[in-house]
Amino acid sequence: MFDPEGGTNYFAAPVPDNYRAHGDIPRNLAHFLDPGSLIALDAALQALASAGLSAGAGDSRRFALVDGLPYRAPGQPTLFVPYGHVAARALGIRGAAAVVGGAFSSGMAAIVAAGHMVARGEADIVLAGAAQALQAPVLEQLRAQGYSSREHSRPFDVGHIGFVPAEGAAYVVVESEEHAAGRGATTIARIAGKAELFDPGTEPLAVSGAPEAGRVMQAALADAGYLQNQVDLAVSCADGRSEVDFAEGYGLKRTFGRHAYYAGVTTGHGSLGFALAASGPLSVALALETLRRQHVFPIAGFESAKADLDLAYVRETRAEKVDCVLVTSLGLGGSNVALLLQT
């Protein structure tokens, strides 16, 4: 249970009390950062290190950042200084430092925006992702809307009962191919296709249905020029809410046809919890690890699916050749994003 303000307990997955910030964050700085800013900077430093980069490396004018706006409850004050701006200051970034919205899909939208920025030649390196901290107003609103669960979530399962709200942060380095090759970087994957679409028919606190979920998947395939059977795995945004699980499941069937029964389907939100704005970047991180390790991960809490949604769900960790992964994110209010990652 989580009690963020000493009043009400919530079933959630916060950053643990024994969390210790990244060693490269000076103690005098860490002391003044709020939890969201701290985990954002920590994740950003880890992303740079994994890409063989460091703060201040290269031409800082060609180094940019795109940050997904963390989810806040209706009526809750917004952030005075976005988490990404804190990271950009600490890392000495002198290119653009942009912040994008999209509710639960803002982090994925940031990665799409980073891909566009690099493709247009506006930056050589873009750090993109999101961080999400939990406050009492957010947790209360999620509970009131019936989104959050009082026990472990079960994505895609017939017994789905909502998600477990989580804190977390994830950032990735999006870099031009020429720049990465010039410094001898090891590339895990390239963005083969990307799509960000809006559904004006969805209410502000609802998610799109299967037709729109399928439409954004199809748009990412079209952007890549790929056929459905070129996708090996879908890392879905299914989180245990029936409306999201059904939108994703039926959206996959609409888009992939018979191949939906062969391409693996998984999600990390059963094991990690659902980190709202940071959920998409966390899914991208899991997809990248899948491509790097050539192992697929199972859906935690999943036992049995609805009769007409018996897709190729991943039920256990296993070695598997994976070359192309689809990652999806459906945000409240109709902001929908999909990415295709290719080795």
DSSP string for 202-260: S-TTS---HHHHHHHHHHHHHHHT--GGG--EEE----S-HHHHHHHHHHHHHHHGGGG
Q: Which two tokens stand for residue 275?
A: 């980190």
Instruction: Spell out the alpha helix ranges (H) of the chain.
Output: 27-30, 35-50, 83-91, 106-119, 136-144, 177-182, 210-224, 242-256, 269-272, 279-293
pLDDT digits (tens, 9 = 90+) for 228-246: 999 999 999 999 999 999 9
Q: Comparing 27-182 with 190-342, is the CATH topology the same?
A: yes
> In whole angstroms, what is the distance from residue 78 CA to residue 100 CA?
13
pLDDT at residue 30 tops 90: no
> In whole angstroms, what is the distance from residue 244 CA to residue 258 CA?
21
pLDDT at residue 314 tops 80: yes
> In whole angstroms, what is the distance from residue 249 CA to residue 236 CA?
9
> In whole angstroms, what is the distance from residue 214 CA to residue 120 CA?
27
pLDDT digits (tens, 9 = 90+) for 299-308: 999 999 998 9
Please report the sign of the dihedral spanned by the C-alpha atoms of residue 250, residue 294, residue 167, residue 95.
Answer: negative
- Structure confidence at residue 17 (pLDDT): 85
SS3 144: helix
For the 190-342 domain, the top CATH level (class) is alpha beta
Mean pLDDT of the region 190-202: 97
Per CATH, domain 27-182 is 3.40.50.150: no
Domain parsing of the chain, residue ranges: 27-182, 190-342
